[in-house]
Chain A
Amino acid sequence: MSTSTNSPGVSPVRQSKLTRGQRPKWLIPVIGVAAVVAGAAIASLIGFSIALWALFAAVIFLVVGPLAVTAVEGGRAGADSLMTFLVYTAFILAVIPLVSVIWTVLVNGVPGLTADLLTTSMNGVTGFQDNKAGAPGEVVGGAYHAIVGTVSITFWATLMSVPVGLLTAVYLVEYSRGGWLGRAITFFVDVMTGIPSIVAGLFAAALFGMVFGPSTRTGFVAAVALTVLMIPTVVKNTEEMLRIVPNELREASYALGVRKWRTILKVVIPTAISGIASGVTLAIARVIGETAPLLVTAGFATAINWNSFSGWMTTLPTFIYYQIMNPTSPTNPDPSLQRAWAAALILIVIVMLLNLVARLIARAFAPKTAGR
């Protein structure tokens, strides 16, 4: 304090020791622009395309940027900037396919969204009609039967898996007390989570095949397959939600002389209901898009079938699959592709809506669980 020579207020021009060897602000943007230009040059040497351009620009930037930082600030800063650029690159890489998928479905699906698609089935539609159809609007036939199938099969699967899943979660949280049975169930629920969906389909097919004769294929068989896939999701989520219900609530209820089952039904489950409901919605959203198990269990129908217990059924995912793999008119697949993309659009909208609903449920009732 005796002298003021140390104070920079007196000599503001002197170079700060802290900023020595810092990269100038323009360095990274300039390298970025240079990389874009150089990328364009190299890409046009090979044969210009936007993908190549982006690729070369990114590679040049990822190499030159960190090297320049290393030259100015040293290896540590260089490594840090390399990782920063890589992280941002990875993020862009992950977003591109999502945008591309949604864009593809929208562009290809919107022209096919006709009244016919939602109100008619493929019954009686043959390659003859498809070959005649010129403009997108002239395509006949639709996905009504597939929507019917999706709704019925999902309905039965939900009806079977939700009570079983819910009760199992109640058992695990409220009754098992960490016993061997509880641990065994937890373990096997984890195992079930990992069952490939096609294997679940094979199981249902094998089960009904042995009981009702080979090649028994109905909507209900598919619903059983989906139940196998849905139960672990419901159990895991419900279990998690029940566990965050504070024990004080249970004890308060017991202290009033309320029986355990009434406590569970009237106190525990209502407290966790929003989380449970949103979990069930997410589970539905997951199985509604399942394709593989339906291929081996529900058969393939072109007509409307509301009866899940007899006759083949088609759902939206299998409808999409068969329209792409086996177009109605093999020589002119465009009408089939149009129907497939329109059905894909409907399916994506349904799945997104279910996700949104799940979020809204969780949010709408959130204050009730805020006591934790």
Chain B
Amino acid sequence: MSKRIDVEHLNVYYGDFLAVQDVSMNIEPRSVTAFIGPSGCGKSTFLRTLNRMHEVIPGAYAEGKVLLDGDDLYGKGVDPVTVRSMVGMVFQRPNPFPTMSIRDNVLAGVKLNNKRISSSEADELVESSLRGANLWNEVKDRLNKPGSGLSGGQQQRLCIARAIAVKPEVILMDEPCSALDPISTLAIEDLINEIKTDYTVVIVTHNMQQASRVSDKTAFFNIEGTGKPGRLIEYAPTSEIFNTPQKKETEDYVSGRFG
């Protein structure tokens, strides 16, 4: 259910532009890893290379290795579709499919692989996924209503339910709370704490308190200036990053003396 990720000397390009330079890190299974750093430092770009979603942008490509339990995501003949079914993703803005009901949204990914899922199995899966996303009690009476009718926080939890319904190895979250109010944010953070018992979770966040609340390890990314590539500055257990950072840049950033 949960796999480790090893990144070796990864460079990410947008056309000629080097966006992220030479990142190496190991992400343990069943843990939460947070990426922090200023805007434009490449943390979201780097996150997207972990399930090859950056390839959606024309001209974007990556060099180096990303190993999922030893298998290179960028190896010869690897289909990004396979990668993405193993590494799920939750986006900055909630994006349930507007034409599908709540139930169909949860089943969207599952139906791709297993078209003849029986209706009782499907019901079970919908319930367990929605329970897993702490959304079941709120929506159990309106599973056939469109997902776009939910509040922002509910929609985001629906997207998490949709991601865990396909039982991925890893869940990537790209600033999942940035479009949400504080109460919904809290609900998502609780949820992250719960799902890390089953999944490897990687989360990008702008909010340092959030990183310190939810993550086991934290990676700090920085950028020297506009047009320069983003780099990994420090990667350590979260308490170390926030209390005893090794690098001056990290200390400046986490203590708010940045810029």
Contact = CB atoms under 8 A, between A and B. Distances in A.
B68 to A, nearest CB: 7
Given A7-B6, A18-B82, A76 B113 contact: yes
Q: Which of A16, A18, A77 has the most CB of B within 10 A?
A: A18
Nearest to B112: A76
A7 B67 contact: yes
Contacts of B82: 18
B231 to A, nearest CB: 22
Nearest to A76: B112
B70 A18 contact: no
B186 interface: no
Contacts, number: 45
A1 B26 contact: yes
Interface stretch (B71-79, B157-165, B235-243): B71-79
Nearest to A10: B70
A25 B78 CA distance: 12
A18 B113 contact: no
B55 interface: no
Contacts of A17: 69, 71
B48 interface: no
Contacts of B77: 19, 22, 25
A22 B80 CA distance: 12
The main secondary structure of chain B at its interface with chain A is: mixed
Contact of B75 (A6, A18, A76, A77): A18
Nearest to A5: B70
Interface in A19-77: 19, 22, 25, 76-77
Interface residues of B, number: 22
A6 B70 contact: yes
Contacts of B81: 77
A14 B86 CA distance: 20
B71 A16 contact: yes
A348 B26 CA distance: 64
25 contacts: A6-B6, A6-B67, A6-B69, A7-B6, A7-B70, A8-B67, A8-B71, A8-B72, A14-B70, A16-B75, A17-B71, A18-B68, A18-B71, A18-B72, A18-B75, A18-B78, A18-B82, A18-B86, A19-B76, A19-B78, A19-B79, A22-B79, A25-B77, A76-B113, A77-B81
Interface of A: 1, 6-8, 14, 16-19, 22, 25, 76-77
Given A6-B70, A8-B72, A17-B69, 14 more contacts: A6-B4, A6-B69, A7-B6, A7-B70, A8-B70, A8-B71, A16-B71, A16-B72, A18-B78, A18-B86, A19-B78, A22-B78, A76-B113, A77-B79
